[in-house]
Structure formats: C-alpha cells, structure tokens
Structure 1
Amino acid sequence: MTADRGPGTPAVAPTGAADLVAVLDRAARLYGARPAVRDAAGSWTWSRLSAASRRVARNLAEHGVEPGGRVLSVLRPGREFAALLFGVLRAGCSLVPARPESSRFELSHLLDDAQPVLVVADDDAPAPPVGGATVVRAPVLLRDVPRPAAVPDTRSAAAPSGEALLLYTSGSTGRPKGIVCPHRAVVFAARAIAERLAYRPEDVVWNRLPLSFDYGLYQLFLCALAGAELVVPPGELSAGETARLREAGVTVLPLVPALGAVLARLAERDPRPTRVRLLTNTGAALVGADAARVRAAFPGSALVCMYGMTECKRVTAADPDEDLAYPGTVGRALPGTRLFVVDERGRPRPPGTAGQIVSAGPHVMAGYHNAPEETARRFAPAPDGDGTAVWTGDTGRLDADGRLYFLGRNDDLFKHRGWRMSTLELETALLDVPGVRSAAAAPPAADGVLTVWVATDLTAPEVLRALVERIGAARAPDRCVVLAELPRTAHGKVDRAALRTALRTAPRTAGRPR
C-alpha cells in the first residue's frame, strides 16, 4: 500500500532550488539581516554566513581543492562548521562531517574510505591523522571575512545529481558505511520535512544533536529554508539546561528519546515556562510515559513523531500531536514520496498487517560508497516498479489512512515461549513503569534467556513485577539488569554492544518473578 495515495496525503512534491548553495543564497536574500547561527562565541546573520561561505570557497581554491573533491570536517558544531559546509558546496566539492571527538581509529577509516583531499580542524584541536590529505585549521579558511557586498561570488555550480555530503552511519553493527547524498535528494528531503514541520522565521532552534548525524545536520537546512535561527549550545548538557533554553528564547527543540528524558527530569526541578512550541523526535521511538513526561515538561508545545534513516533521510512525519489520537504512529509519508509495507516477496501487505517498510521517491540517496553489494541489497527497485527504493529492513504496518506504525527492526522481532514479540514492545511497557528513566531490550541470547536493561532507582525484581502487570507473566523477560544510565552512542541511541558487555559482568541475581 502506498501511503501518499491515501486520503489527505499531498501528492505534489515540494519545489525549489536543486542544490544546497541556492538554499543558503535564498536565505541570505530573503532573511539577510536575521540571525542564522549562534554559538558560544557569537552570532552570524544569514548574509554574514553566505559571505563566510564565499571566503571558504575562495580559500579552498587557493589550497588546490578542485571541484569534485571531498573535504573531511572534524570541526566543533557552530558558525565555522556552517561556513565550511556551504563553502565546500559552493566550491563544487562535498563534505564528510565527522564528530570532533572521533578517535584516530575512526578517522583512519573515514580517510581510507572517503579519500578526502583536505581535513579541516579547529585551531585548538590536536592534529588529526591525515593519510594523504592536507590538514587546514578553520581560521585559515575563514580569516578576514569581509562585508557581504565586498565578496565576489566564487561559486562553482554543483550538478543537482552531484554529491553534496558523504554521511557515515554510526557503525553500531560494523565499520561505518558512507551514504552518498546528492544535492537534489538532500534539498528535496529538507523541503518535504520543512513542509510538515513548518518552522517560522522567528523560531529559535536549540540543537544538541551532533552535526555528523543527519538529524542534527538537517536542522541547519530547515533553518535556512525558514529563515529561523540555529543555536548550538556550548558545553555539556547540565542542570541549568532549561534556564538556558529560557534565556535563549528557544521555540523548537529537536529530540531523541534519551535527550528528552533528561530534559524532562531537569524541567521537573525548574518548572518555569519556556517559549518552546514544537518538539520533534526521531532516531528511536518516543512513546507512552516517556512522551507524556516530555510533553509535561514543555506545556503548550506540540510533539511531532517521525521515522527515517539516513539512506533516505526521512520516511514519515506525523502531524503535531497526531500520536495522541493515533498512539504509536510516526505519521504519513513525506509529500511527493511513496511508502509501502511489503511481505517477504515484496508484495504490498493489507492495512493493519505487519511487513517490511519500503520508501521510494526523490529523497532516496545514491547508495553506499565503495559497497556495491550492500547498495544492491538496500537500494533496490521499488515495489511498484517506479525507480529505486530504500528497503529499510524495519517492520511496520499501515492503517487505512496511510499512517505508519513502526514495530521494530527485523532483527528485533523474535519468539519467546511461543509468543511473537518485539524489543520495542518490551521497551514501551518498561517506560510505562513509574521510576524507569530509560529502557532497552534485546532478542533472547543463544541460551534462550530474554534480558531487559533499565535505568532506574527501582530494584530488578520490582521492575519485573511491574512489567508482569503490564504484559503478563508468559511474555515477561527472564532477566532485568539495572544500570545508573544506559550507555549511548554519539548519536544518542542505546549502545547495544556496551549493554552486552554490561550483561556479561552483571551479577546473575535478577531473575523473573515466579
């Protein structure tokens, strides 16, 4: 079933600029004097950012970087990163964003795989490994940024089908894979998401998400499309976060569940009102009690639940607070895209029936870099025969109106004591237990033992008893491991490998109540 053919789903794709530099230049033209990016050191307007990107493009040419080359960034989030991003694109090159905290092991893999011609680092950062690339400090590319009117346009026009970004996955299941993101697909996805989220020129977007993570990076594009301001908060998240949100006048708050849970706890200690009007969530499900706590922390705000993956950026986005009327939904397909739920042979499943989620349309990226076999598996012909689709490997179901309900990854579905279950089902029930701050589950181990992990002040038997009350004794897990906090990857997702390590070292005293 295709969700964009259901009632109420727009069938017309968003239109506009076909490359990201045109998105920035449009923002400078329409919103030039408005603030664009704010970090610990100051703020730039959209005109200032556009001018800085031109200076970067000129300096890249002076360093011998030719159109078509790749530039690896290990810059901290902020104004300099934004200028580098658009400057690289203006020069006809593509950017490979990496976490500034990346280890030498991680960077060595990116250097070997992406083969960048230049590595850009902060002025005060240790020298990164370079392979065959040249290291340049950010101030060298940004020095003497003049007034906007005094800067000639050094742009080398990018082909819409040309590579804009090479985004690497988190690598939680192996070495990271680089996803080739063309200008056309990135701009289409950003415009389609913008149509659903409807950021406003007066919005202030507080972005704690890494800019090497597509959810965090696209906040810059969404702000450019709307003329809104992106705030990159300095330092680590602390007890004063809600006060800082209030002081900055934040109106939009992009979340992953782990960040939402922390902010909810902090807001309980500091319940003074903020200006936050919109909360967005993706990366993992924000449902049940966790969603209720986040809503309570920011009264008067609306929550938009979304689902996607970097291979096509976003698959669905719900209407604001749509999950209240349709619990568990992550919304309908993006405007101009097609959504399917299919069986093992690729045939559409009827509404209400689970199957693999498949997404097709102009937002589909161009595959994995240097990985033809994996590209062929993930980027395959669409079920309706119209172009290429992303076969997500995730399981979901559609309702009669085209709303998607995410049920988990194929690897997260299992049978236990004859019951067909999912890790998401267990995690949702655990988060409904008062006192459970965060939760994770994994399919049964080789010995058949089903384990869950929780961050809570409760004991493991107390958690398991509460879980039995919610899902019944027959489907309850065999073991609960209590941790102070669940380990997280750099992108805010639960670190499954670290949980398995914790399981090996945890005392075997947390059995299921009889």
Structure 2
Amino acid sequence: MLDDAAADRPADPAVRDSRGGWDYRRVVELSHAVERWLADNGVDPGDRVIVQLPNRRETVPIVYGVSRRGAVLVPLNPGMKPFHLRSVLGDSEPALVLVSGQAGDAARENATVPVHDIDDVWADVEARVESSGSPGSSGPSGRDEPAGARGEDVAILIYTSGSTAAPKAVVCPHARVVFAASAINAVLGYRPGDVVFCRPPMSFDYGLYQIFLSALGRAELVLAGDEPDLVLLKQIRECGATVVPIVPSLGSMIATLARRAPGSAPAVRMFTNTGAALPAATIANLHESFPGARVVRMYGITECKRVTIMEPELDRERPGASGRPLPGTRVLILDDAGRPLPAGEVGEIVVDGPNVMAGYWRDPELSARAYRPDPETGRTRLHTGDYGWLDQDGYLYFEGRRDDMFKRRGTRMSTVEIEAAAMDIPGVRAAVALPPAGERDLVVFVEGELDPHAVLRELALRLEPPKVPAACHVLDRFPLTLNGKNERKQLTLLLEGSAP
C-alpha cells in the first residue's frame, strides 16, 4: 500500500501531527530505516513488536517498517493499566517494546525484553536515512534480508477486551488486512486531496486502519494527540479535514462544539462511524453543522475488521441500518440451531469472506467458539455473538449482543432499543442501559443535566411498559474506555458502589 502510494504520488503529504509532516517518499525512506533498526536490534521475522505510542507521526513508518521486517505489530494504548500490560507482555512475548516518555514507565517496570524510547530510536532512524544513498538501504546489517509480511503471515495482533478476564488478541494475517482495507476503501472512497483527521488511537483498529485507508486513497493522515476536547473543532478547521472518523462520544462532542460556535462550516465531506451506533440526534446535529458532509454508518468488530458499510450517498436513508456487506463478503443471519433466517427475522450475525481474521492468539478453544467452519463449504465463518436482521435489500440492522438481549415481564427486548429511546429525549447526550442481573432490575444511565424521574416519564412515552427501566441515574459525564466508548463495566461498578 505505502510503496504504491509513494510511486504514484511521492511528493504528496502522507502524515502530519502537531510537530510537522512527511510526504510519501519520506515515509518510505523512514520505513526502510525502521526495518534495518529492528533487524539490528534482534527482531526476526515472526517476532512480536509492541508499539505503545500516542498518536504521533512516527507511528506510520513504524507500522510499515515492522511489516517490511516480517515481524508482527502489537499496537497498545499508552494508557493501558499495568495489570493488563503484564498480561499482554506475557501473552505476546515480544522481542522489544517501543514507548514514549513517562507513559512507558509501566513497560519499563514489567517487561523482560528491551524497552526503547521513541525519541532515542528516532534519532537513530533519521540518521540512517540521512546516511543512506537510496530509500531501500539504510546501513549494513549482519541479518538476512526479510521478505516482509506476506499472505497468511501474521501482520498484526490487536488486543481487545471483552468477555474474557484478560485482553485477548485477534490474529490478523497480512492478506486479510489488505483485503479488509481495500474493500472498505472501495465503498468509502478516500481520495487524493483528502485530509483524514484521526483522533481514535492507533491501538484501536479503527484508528490503525486510517493509516492503510489514507495510503490507498493517497490522502494525508492528520494524527490528533490528547489535546482537550474543547479544541477539536479548531483542529478540524485548521488542518482542513475532509474525512473525520468518529465514535459516538467524539461525534457528540464535535456536534456540540459546532452548535456553540456557528460560522463557516469546515470542509468536512464525510464522517465515518463505528465502535457503537451514532444516536439519531448526533447524526442530525452533524448534518446541521456540516451541511456538505455525509455521516456514514458502519458496523464491524475486530475479529473481521468491518462487516457492513452504508454507502456514503445514502447516509440519510434507511435510518437504523448499518449498511451492506463489504464487497466480496456476505452476511448471514442464523438461528440458534445454525439455520439461515429470512429477511426481517432477528438472529446471530455471521460473517463469511476474506475479511474474517485467523482467530485468537494462542487460544484455540476461544477461537473454535467464534470461528467455525461452514457446514457446506468448510470455509471458516465468524460467529459474531451479535444479533441483527437483514431487510429485503440486504441492509443490516444491529439489535445488540447476546448479553444485551433479555426478557423482562415476558417481553423480549434489547439494551440498544432502550438506549435509542433515551437518546431521543432532549438534553440526553449519551445513554447506557444495564439489563437485569441477580436482584438488580433494568437500569438506565444518561449523561446530561436532567431530572431522573423526568427521564423515566419520557421513556414511558416512547417504550412499552415492560421496557421502561426501574431506575435512572444521571451523570455529568460518562466514563470512557481508552478507545472512547462508554465504559459499561465502570457504570456497573458505580451502580454496585464499588467504582474507584
């Protein structure tokens, strides 16, 4: 991807952060130098390399340099707690770790392999580029020249949290990453001249794939750091962003800031959304503040990267839909016995195609539960554990995860439906419903400045009586995960009185 982009548009801007930017030619040169640095520091093809960096421009040539070496990229959030970091270090067994400043202290304290600060590494990398006579040569090395990541070679391990106690890694082979990125861009259409403003972290596959999508589209990637949310709109305006990937919390903040500071709309032509569905109110507010922009709904999980995308030109149609399957893939809706269901009926979402990743790292039991063979073709399909339905035209409607669906007072319901109703109430910025558990009844949390009893009264106007929560809790601001999603676990602990 990178080499093709550099051959096509070598002088076009490739990546930028608050300290400056590089064109595609320079990123190629730097990626070769990173590959030689890795070789000289004992990294062999197949070795894991943990990259625990904030959003900074060095990440882009590092990602490609790791691939050139044939090593396995393991991106981690700098804010990962030491407890989880120790688990990942033991599970992935990296050859080395790249960190930045004080954020790398936990790695230095817990890793048994070399931990390198990016500033020291980068001085070496830059020196290699300056001393080399050609992009592909950045100094001699006594190690064999690698062929780079190819085909079914593992390219990336992406650690996710979920139903397991410790983070688990999805195994992403090179060919499947390339297919997924190419199929996504075939629908989204990143293009030369685009400026992609990326706030999601590189440890989140949504953020990481912006590197690949930008290269495929010959676009410029602008990496936003951890600046305060209040400067988001200013950053988007100043960098000339045309594409902005968002999760609901980020989209809500951008929409709120835009409504508070009306003026000439930034040049954004497209917002993309995954991670969780955007509330209808947020979509409407983005359309109002950015009249020239599409708001593209998508559904995906790390285990196959992306499942469906709503065509950008249809962003105002089929409310509630999350699009159609990626080109070259298909989505099935199966009942609990594994039988296909007709259009309109809710069942488990199952994905079949080259975007299906290769399972979970060193966990055959967990892999066998999610990645199962098609009884007819033998090809591996992903059983997502999510539920939804397809309409007659093949558009997917997401209903929730298995754990999000439950019966109460004899009525089947989903937390997604309850949250959507709460988000329809004026003044609600975010909503999370927690299903009954043990002696606890159905509860809803909302973010805003509202009376909880008023929220319940409004919900009673929107939902059938069994679906109205027993209690409502109002918070000024929800706790968020490192990827910017609402932290349900933390809200559950808050409810139980054990939150820190």
Q: Shorter-chain TM-score: which interval?
A: over 0.9
For 2:195, the equivalent position in structure 1 comes to 204
What one-letter code is carried by the residue in structure 2 that aligns with 1:204?
Answer: V
Higher relative contact order (CA 8 A, sep 6+): 1
Could you list the per-position Cα deviations for residues 339-359 of structure 1 after superposition, in whole angstroms to 9, with x for gaps in the alignment?
A: 100011111100000000000
Distance 1:306 1:384 in 2: 29
SS of corresponding position for 1:84: helix
TM-superposed deviation, 1:236: 2.3
Corresponding residue to 1:299 among 291, 294, 301: 291
For 2:251, the equivalent position in structure 1 comes to 260
What one-letter code is carried by the residue in structure 2 that aligns with 1:25?
Answer: D
SS of corresponding position for 1:164: strand
Distance 2:252 2:378 in 1: 41
For 1:408, the equivalent position in structure 2 comes to 400
| Cα distance change on mapping 1:116 and 1:410 into 2, 3 Å | same
| Cα distance change on mapping 1:34 and 1:347 into 2, 3 Å | same
SS of corresponding position for 1:325: coil
SS of corresponding position for 1:351: coil
Distance 1:48 1:172 in 2: 42
SS of corresponding position for 2:413: strand
Contact 2:294/2:315 (8 A) holds in 1: no
Could you list the per-position Cα deviations for residues 412-468 of structure 1 after superposition, in whole angstroms to 9, with x for gaps in the alignment?
A: 011112221100000101100000000000211212511000001111011111111
TM-superposed deviation, 1:223: 0.1
Could you list the per-position Cα deviations for residues 176-224 of structure 1 after superposition, in whole angstroms to 9, with x for gaps in the alignment?
A: 1011100000000000000010011100011110100001100010001
Structure 1 vs Structure 2: percent identity of aligned residues?
A: 46
TM-superposed deviation, 1:119: 0.7
TM-superposed deviation, 1:86: 0.8
Distance 2:288 2:296 in 1: 15
SS of corresponding position for 1:344: coil
Corresponding residue to 2:161 among 159, 163, 170: 170
Q: In the alignment, is residue 152 of structure 1 matched against residue 136 of structure 2?
A: yes
Q: In the alignment, is residue 137 of structure 1 matched against residue 117 of structure 2?
A: yes
TM-superposed deviation, 1:280: 0.5
TM-superposed deviation, 1:104: 2.1
Corresponding residue to 1:232 among 223, 226, 237: 223
Gaps of 5+ in 1: 1-22, 507-514
What one-letter code is carried by the residue in structure 2 that aligns with 1:73?
Answer: V
For 1:331, the equivalent position in structure 2 comes to 323
Distance 1:485 1:125 in 2: 25
What one-letter code is carried by the residue in structure 1 that aligns with 2:235?
Answer: R
What one-letter code is carried by the residue in structure 2 that aligns with 1:137?
Answer: D
Contact 1:57/1:155 (8 A) holds in 2: no
Q: In the alignment, is residue 98 of structure 1 matched against residue 89 of structure 2?
A: no
For 1:284, the equivalent position in structure 2 comes to 276
Q: In the alignment, is residue 419 of structure 1 matched against residue 411 of structure 2?
A: yes
Contact 2:52/2:104 (8 A) holds in 1: no
Contact 1:440/1:454 (8 A) holds in 2: yes
Distance 1:215 1:306 in 2: 11
Greater shift, 233-242 or 353-362, is seen at 233-242
Distance 2:412 2:354 in 1: 35
Contact 2:304/2:356 (8 A) holds in 1: yes
TM-superposed deviation, 1:48: 0.6
TM-superposed deviation, 1:298: 1.7
Using the size of structure 2 for normalisation, the TM-score is 0.93
Contact 1:54/1:155 (8 A) holds in 2: no
SS of corresponding position for 1:303: strand
Greater shift, 75-84 or 343-352, is seen at 75-84
Gaps of 5+ in 2: 138-144
For 1:31, the equivalent position in structure 2 comes to 9
Distance 1:142 1:230 in 2: 21
Matched positions, count: 484
What one-letter code is carried by the residue in structure 2 that aligns with 1:200?
Answer: R
TM-superposed deviation, 1:107: 1.6
Distance 2:429 2:26 in 1: 42
Could you list the per-position Cα deviations for residues 463-501 of structure 1 after superposition, in whole angstroms to 9, with x for gaps in the alignment?
A: 111111111434211100111111111111211111012
TM-superposed deviation, 1:145: 4.8
TM-superposed deviation, 1:396: 0.4
What RMSD, in angstroms, separates the aligned Cα atoms of the two structures?
1.7
Contact 1:444/1:451 (8 A) holds in 2: yes
1:121-136 equivalences under 5 Å are: 121-122=99-100, 125-127=103-105, 128=107, 129-136=109-116
Distance 1:116 1:65 in 2: 9
| Cα distance change on mapping 1:270 and 1:155 into 2, 3 Å | farther
TM-superposed deviation, 1:385: 2.8
